Structure 1
Amino acid sequence: MAGVDDGILFPANRLRDWTQEVFQKVGVSRDDALLLTDSLIEANLRGVDTHGITRMLCVYVERIQKGVMSAKTNLTVVREKPSTALIDCHNSIGQVGAARAMQMAIEKARQTGVAFTAAAHTNHYGATAYWAMMALPNGMIGFSSTNAPAVVAPTGGRTAMFGTNPICIAIPADKQLPVVLDLATTVVARGRINLYAKQNKPLEPGWAFDEHGAPTTDPHAALKGLLAPIGGYKGYGIMLAVDFLCGVLTGSNYGTHFPGFLADNMIDPTDVGSVFAAVNVESFMDLPEFTAAIDKAVREIKTSTRSAEVDRIYIPGEIEFEVKAHRLVHGIPIPAEVVKDFINLGRELALPFPQV
């Protein structure tokens, strides 16, 4: 889990209110600011701080201020059939295009059983789980994926060709928690490397390589080098498939065609592609029967024989649900270095960052 281990604790609602004001101050509409803020705060609450305000707020604001990402929403459905749609986002905020695309997938799946939609020419959309989980209250299985600037070389290569290219599948349950598999196709997301660099914390072995292709635990060297794919050549294959689905299929950027990373490129739009899907469980099985079966399968996994050194077997997404419950009570940790950035941003915008 890409979380912050320690920091100054802030109540979620206080961070939420201030973040929403910040986005509106730089030209984002109230409704879009609400959505954008919710996606980021939700990531922080779930412990995915790499995709929360901790890393993304100042980057998003700077990109909007410099005109690299449009604060104004402009979405056009350019291709549509009963179970599919392609939306041209015209460099709109990534979360806005993602919300529209996932909602269309859900609405279409009510009629067709399964629906697949895509957002083209868009931007970073935050945590992948936020979009896949939209399907859960509708009795559906949700899926989302997106591509990103290249940080991984193909197996046998030394040139960065693929991004962290995350995927998420969210599956509803009844009495058990939903199963939410949300992962980057690299061992860790690049955002986590950024957070470690911000705090001058060493990386775990096996996460990254330096610019010469040598394994490194130095986060600053890793940012100039490559990330390691999950599962070796299998991870390479998965990230390739994601890049082709999200980039090539939507007519957006892919591979080496990205102009740079979010925080490093303040000139050219990223031109990301993202895909979304919804599976209406009722098209295959009565929903209560399905969720009861998922509950049974989850219990079987969690009560299976554990290794001697393990106290508990987790289901994907379970840790994030527990972290959210904890942080709603105790607050979201923000590293001191990031708090300084927020204080400076607040001064710049005449919106003082809230004190603890």
Structure 2
Amino acid sequence: MQLSLEQASALCRMAALGAGASDETARSIATAAIAAEAEGNKAVGLSHYIDYLEALEAGRINGKAEPAISRPALAIYLSDARGGAAHTGFDRIAEDLAKTARLFGVAIFSQKNAYTAGALGYFTGRLAEQGLVAFGATNGPAVLAGSGSTKPVYCTNPMSFACPAADGPPLIIDQSSSATAFVNIRKAAADGKAIPEGWALDNAGNPTTDPAAAMKGALLAFGGQRGANIALMVEVLAAGLSGANWSLDAPWFTGGPDNPGTGLFILAIEPKLLDPDFEKRMKDQLARLNRRYGVHIPGVSKATATEKAAARGITVSKDIVERIADFAERHKR
């Protein structure tokens, strides 16, 4: 089905309201999901949005939660999501976070007790669009084996880096610490397709290409021990600093009544205080890497896809639209 971004946004917002969200939460999670879908990141777009709706209905997301935000130091914002969505607390202070980074050079947002964050580049990219360099880290329920382990001890523990470039879209790197995202494993299982070797282990610790067996076993980190070490680093930033659940202690995000209680860490840096010509130098360097050396620049294709989606709309499977629309009908009733 073809939907304009406005139609898709309205549908998602109404669906969240129907599932029990406040208007603020509904707008926050709908905006993030539509942004992911528009840039072509469908794994955490509208298909994943159904997880949010089901979590709202089951109580895994407290749709009425009011994040408690404090400021223990001038450049630090602490948020307790209180079992709500990860996006709401960030949305409340995003502008202040950017202003603080411009004033002091750096600013930190640290959050605990939230549902999983979806596309992490959504957070860092918003800061880069305001001229800031940003780094983000988040965790979730354990699905990834650690270094030397065959059992899941970390989430896919994504990290994201974004920075502005003059006269163009920001550079946005958004990747998991695992060889692939968990939602890709789940999609392969739903489609009955095998997964590549090196992505996962079964529950006996043996390598597998069966996504159903992988979901009962453990995902593998990219780059072996080095990737697993990065997953641990992300865990410390996202869960250790914030007081959120360690991945081992986080309830599963698609079952049961409990919120996974995950963490989110965002660092914002004002580059102009370090180098007033930063954005122009980034533009020139990215252009050189791409044109002379054939380097793929993350973020450019997403920006192009978003522009096309704004003009032409998005194509979504009928099944996904109908499932989201079912929640929206509940709001009307």
Q: Shared fold by TM > 0.5?
A: yes
For residues 110-156 of structure 1, the C-alpha deviation after alignment (integer angstroms, 9 at most, x for no partner) is 22111112011111122111111121232211222111111111121
Q: Does 1:270 align with 2:270?
A: no
The one-letter amino acid of 2:236's match is F
Task: Report the counterpart of residue 289 of structure 2 in structure 1.
Answer: 301
Q: Partners in 2 of 1:159 and 1:101 — Cα distance?
A: 37
Task: Report the counterpart of residue 5 of structure 2 in structure 1.
Answer: 12
- Count of aligned pairs between the two proteins: 331
The one-letter amino acid of 1:235's match is G
Equivalences for 1:181-192 in 2 at 5 Å? 181-192=173-184
For residues 75-134 of structure 1, the C-alpha deviation after alignment (integer angstroms, 9 at most, x for no partner) is 212452111121111112211023235444312212211111201111112211111112
Equivalences for 1:145-164 in 2 at 5 Å? 145-164=137-156
Task: Report the counterpart of residue 270 of structure 2 in structure 1.
Answer: 280
User: Please, which of 332, 337, 348 is the counterpart of residue 314 of structure 2?
Assistant: 332
Q: Partners in 2 of 1:40 and 1:292 — Cα distance?
A: 31
- Cα distance change of structure 1 residues 198 and 342 upon mapping to structure 2, 3 Å threshold: farther
- Cα distance change of structure 1 residues 176 and 347 upon mapping to structure 2, 3 Å threshold: closer
Q: Which runs of 5+ in 1 are unaligned?
A: 1-7, 306-311
User: Please, which of 11, 23, 30 is the counterpart of residue 23 of structure 2?
Assistant: 30
For residues 23-70 of structure 1, the C-alpha deviation after alignment (integer angstroms, 9 at most, x for no partner) is 122332333322211100110111111211112x22212221222211
Task: Report the counterpart of residue 83 of structure 1 in structure 2.
Answer: 75
Q: Partners in 1 of 2:205 and 2:63 — Cα distance?
A: 38
Equivalences for 1:227-246 in 2 at 5 Å? 227-246=219-238
Task: Report the counterpart of residue 85 of structure 2 in structure 1.
Answer: 93
Q: Does 1:292 align with 2:280?
A: yes
Equivalences for 1:217-236 in 2 at 5 Å? 217-236=209-228
Question: 1:244 deviation in Å?
Answer: 1.2
Q: Which runs of 5+ in 2 are unaligned?
A: none
Task: Report the counterpart of residue 50 of structure 1 in structure 2.
Answer: 43
Question: 1:165 deviation in Å?
Answer: 0.8
The one-letter amino acid of 1:299's match is A
Q: Partners in 2 of 1:166 and 1:351 — Cα distance?
A: 34
User: Please, which of 204, 207, 210 is the counterpart of residue 215 of structure 1?
Assistant: 207
The one-letter amino acid of 1:275's match is F
Q: Is the 8 A contact 1:98 1:125 kept in 2?
A: no
- Cα distance change of structure 1 residues 285 and 71 upon mapping to structure 2, 3 Å threshold: same
RMSD: 2.1
TM-score (norm 1): 0.86
For residues 315-337 of structure 1, the C-alpha deviation after alignment (integer angstroms, 9 at most, x for no partner) is 122232233334445543434xx
Percent identity for Structure 1 against Structure 2: 24
